[in-house]
Amino acid sequence: MIGIGTDNASVMVGVNNGLVEILKKEHGLKHLILIRCVCHSLQLAVSHASVNTLPRNIEFLVRETYNWFSISPKRQEEYKKVYETINYGKQPLKILKVCATRWLSIEPAVCRILEQWEELKLHFSFAMGNDNCYTADLSYRMYCDDSNQLYMLYLKQTLKDVQIALKAFEGEDNDPTKLLDTLVFLMQSLGKNIVFPTFDLLTTPVPNECMYANPHLGYTFEQKMLESSLSQENKSYLKKRCIDFSLKLIKQIQQRLPSNVTILKKMSMLNVEETLKVNKTNALADVAKELGFSNEFIDGMLQEWHNINFIKWNNTTNTVRFWIKVLQYKNAVGENPFSLISQLAITILILPHSNAEVERVFSSMNIIKTKQRNRLSLKTINALILLRDQLKKQNKNCASFEIPSEVLQLIGTNKSYSFATTKNVELQHPLLSDVQPSTSAAAVLDEHETEELFDLLSDDDEYN
């Protein structure tokens, strides 16, 4: 085990009895690298930054707007008529729900409301008069308050940059050596209107107040503020609360990403551009030492590190594919002169920086094992999840994938078959290429489960 990616729970990262400390002390993994999930850290940073900085009625307004329409088709139809009248027959977009455990889910909900602000305000004015409803009256007064719209505008443009960073860390095919650039860009974007550009926002403590005398918080925000009916005192107070939110957000990210930033800096040295430079330092030796490699390995690795730019490499656009190419490279005598450096690079590139991919498995399991399919065994669920994963990697789905004829002939029968009887299928379909030929259906399903599965497949009405 080289590294472990976890969230920030004490049971995982606690310095006394956390999982990581137990693995290091009791299992001899003294070089184990801990990487806290960056996505969880950003989520928590945004959630904590909003406390005592942004007014609580913003989240209340977003939630109540969704609740107002979610329980009443009649209200949806009334709002649809209002929206079509204002926008020449166009259909309104659905108001989104805010997830209780993911505060960043408020960003798409805020964007959707801002796009329909005037239409929603008009709808609640009609509802207030027709239904004599206190919720409609309260919502209308909140939509009439220009400060609420300004807070949501600033929240939208701030969380948009955080969402871009989350997308980079959650992506499966993104370049891991460029994650540091993504994080630096996020911090610079958050602090561009608050601190001077010379500040290293990843390591330098952020001041408690804005460094600019008259900060500019975005063109749309500033124009909307000029058009608003707020007093100058209220405008100054509103800008101060927005700046306080950004300052607290930067501080929260700094507190939650110290070790991650160090690892990302070391990983960025393996970027293709950095690797193929003529003048390079020996800083990569520190990385190898931290991972527990011997001194002899480090000596050979550094020699290969300084020689790798002498070869003309073709694939230099994707970092992962580049290092795989280096790992497979052979010279005239059939040896790989870069085996050590490629081994170190692959070791570093497999370090996890997000738990998003793991948590997608939880979602897949909840989709597969429903109340109607609650008798599925663990082996069956595991097999179905693996099939979904392989189909996704090949850009196929249940509609586009062609089932082999040999498999179709076995559907409806009660006999257990092995992959030895479908040898041709294995050659023609890559989905089965990773499965051991000796694996039989009995290893995945017992006889009772197999009969039950075939009965379900043969009875179309019941299965549907």
Burial zone of 331 (CB within 10 Å; 0-12 exposed, 13-18 middle, 19+ buried): exposed
Q: Are residues 210 and 79 in the same domain?
A: yes
Tell me the pLDDT of the chain averaged across its residues. Answer: 83
Residue 390: pLDDT band (50, 70, 90) is confident
Q: Are residues 341 and 381 in the same domain?
A: no
In a domain, 360, yes or no: no
* Span 294-328, pLDDT tens digits: 999 999 999 999 999 899 888 778 888 899 899 99
In a domain, 266, yes or no: no
* Span 226-237, pLDDT tens digits: 999 899 999 999
Least confident of 180-189, 297-306, 449-458: 449-458
Judged against a pLDDT cut of 60, whether residue 428 lies above it is answered with no
**What pLDDT, on a 0 to 100 scale, did the predictor assign at position 301?**
93
Q: Are residues 223 and 119 in the same domain?
A: yes
Give CA torsion, residues 15, 16, 18, 19, to 10 deg: 100
Calculate what percentage of the chain has a pLDDT beyond 90: 31
For residue 195, give its domain range: 57-256
In a domain, 111, yes or no: yes
Q: Are residues 435 and 414 in the same domain?
A: yes
The distance in angstroms from the start CA to the end CA of the chain is 44
**What pLDDT, on a 0 to 100 scale, did the predictor assign at position 103?**
67
In a domain, 359, yes or no: no
Q: How far is it, in rounded angstroms, from Cα 151 to Cα 241?
A: 9
**What pLDDT, on a 0 to 100 scale, did the predictor assign at position 101?**
67
Q: Are residues 93 and 196 in the same domain?
A: yes
Judged against a pLDDT cut of 90, whether residue 456 lies above it is answered with no
Q: Are residues 181 and 288 in the same domain?
A: no
Mean pLDDT of 379-406: 85
Q: Are residues 330 and 420 in the same domain?
A: no
Residue with the bigger pLDDT between 164 and 411: it is: 164
Judged against a pLDDT cut of 50, whether residue 142 lies above it is answered with yes
Q: Are residues 243 and 373 in the same domain?
A: no
Q: Are residues 28 and 84 in the same domain?
A: no
Mean pLDDT of 16-34: 89
Q: How many structural domains comprise the chain?
A: 4
Q: Are residues 196 and 212 in the same domain?
A: yes
Q: Are residues 8 and 70 in the same domain?
A: no
* Span 350-382, pLDDT tens digits: 888 888 778 888 888 888 998 888 888 888 899
In a domain, 267, yes or no: no
Give CA torsion, residues 30, 32, 34, 35, to 10 deg: 160
State whether residue 394 is helix, strand or coil: coil
Q: Do 353 and 176 contact (CB within 8 A), yes or no?
A: yes
In a domain, 430, yes or no: yes
* Span 42-71, pLDDT tens digits: 888 998 998 888 898 898 999 999 999 998
Q: Mutual orientation of helices 378-393 and 356-368 as an angle, nearest 10°? A: 120
Q: Which of 50, 70, 88 is the last residue of a domain?
A: 50
Q: Are residues 89 and 159 in the same domain?
A: yes
| Tokens matching residue 421 | 């009887």
